[in-house]
Chain A
Amino acid sequence: MAAKSNLTNMVLVLGLVCLLCSAVLGGAYVITKAPIEAAAAAKTQQAVAQVLPHFETLEYNDDANYYTAKDGEAVVGYAIESSVVGFGGPLSLMVGVTADGVVYNTSVLSHSETPGLGAKCSTDAKFIDQWRGFDPSVKKISVKKDGGDVDAITASTITSRAYTLAVENALNVFSTLDPSSPAAPQDDSTVILSDSEESTNEVKEDNDNE
């Protein structure tokens, strides 16, 4: 059984065990760092490919979190990352907007919604498909309960609202870009960032009230 306790052996054993454990974890961190980053990058690439029509090259704008997809010189569209607060936590989307301002497709990057309810926002075909070719100049971008044209997921109005808002934020980012120029100037990008952050914060308060 266990050894008799005295100050020396307690400090020694606990210290040694902690030292060894941190060494093991440090090693594991170094080994897994590259694959973890690769997995995250692959996921983003996949999401961009999913939300935009065929493209050849991709440029990333760090400041406003969007990708510009080009086929030769022509801009195919923009894949915009958009994060809002959903029902269970952050809801992060990749929204593909073509050069004419129409949503091409959307994809969920991460969410923490209730399984079986809000979590359907990443699997419910009926909900996801309505975003294909969603034209904000024709349809009103809010859920039907709030007088818009978006069909909410059954029993998950808050998630649907958050999803809608994330798309709306992405469209707002898009509207500040100039589709005729390949990439917006750096100064503009900074403004875009602060704008989208403000609107995200407003949403948080809204949801808290509910």
Chain B
Amino acid sequence: MSKIKLLTDGFVKNNPTFVLLLGMCPTLATTTSAINGLSMGLATLFVLVLSNIVISLIAPVVPDKVHIPVYIVVIATFVTLLQLLMQAYTPAMYETLGLFIPLIVVNCIVLGRAEAFANKHGVGESALDGIGVGLGFTCSLTILGLVREILGSGSAFGWNFIGGHDGMLAFVMAPGAFLCLGYLMVLFNKYLKK
């Protein structure tokens, strides 16, 4: 498997949001604006890459019966680390995403990649896979966040273009999240995924 293919697989063939449908909880909950989606994606990318690296390193010595608890401890450690770092150095971002950061622990993408990829491959490949899937997730969340922000609040990346009027508020709330995700999924699978 070529290195480039490892990276691009996460974008199209294994796109976590539009193809694998993993990590729906943060996807639906945090994409109320493009910035929120982007930050959540980057936070997950951070955890995904580091946990993939560590798990690919320790996988050979982890006994089969305890591999899930060991992986979860590793993932939870990185999530808590991220939470402390965000709280300390990016308090504004922590305020918006704080509630959803702990949910990365139970995000199926992270454990899914550990199970399906990192524990069978080397460090380099696992890191690339983490970057690919993480970026795929980040892009998906940003696009979903952007669509919902444009429709729901009439702004893009915080820049308002309808002059202070309310957008279609339903798109900022949960029903809009499902609708947007559904339509984006249709478009993605029809045009990008061959």
Contact = CB atoms under 8 A, between A and B. Distances in A.
Contacts of B32: 115-116
Interface stretch (A13-21, A132-140, A160-168, A179-187): A13-21
Given A32-B85, A35-B89, A36-B88, A2 B67 contact: yes
A36 B87 contact: yes
B76 to A, nearest CB: 8
B77 A116 contact: no
Given A2-B119, A17-B70, A115-B33, A35 B62 contact: no
Nearest to B170: A116
Interface stretch (B53-61, B103-111, B123-131): B53-61
Main secondary structure of the interface of B (DSSP, over half): helix
A75 B84 CA distance: 38
Interface in B80-125: 80-81, 84-85, 87-89, 91, 95, 99, 119-120
A9 interface: yes
B49 interface: no
Interface residues of B, number: 37
Contacts, number: 90
B173 A116 contact: yes
A99 B84 CA distance: 40
B4 interface: no
Contact of B153 (A4, A21, A116): A116
Given A3-B63, A10-B63, A17-B70, A36 B84 contact: yes
B81 A116 contact: no
Interface of A: 1-6, 9-10, 13-14, 17-18, 21, 24-25, 28-29, 32, 35-36, 39-40, 43, 110, 112, 114-117, 154-155
Please list the 9 inter-chain residue pairs (A to B) with the smallest Cβ-Cβ separation, ordered nearest first.
A116-B172, A35-B88, A5-B63, A32-B88, A5-B65, A21-B77, A115-B32, A39-B91, A2-B64
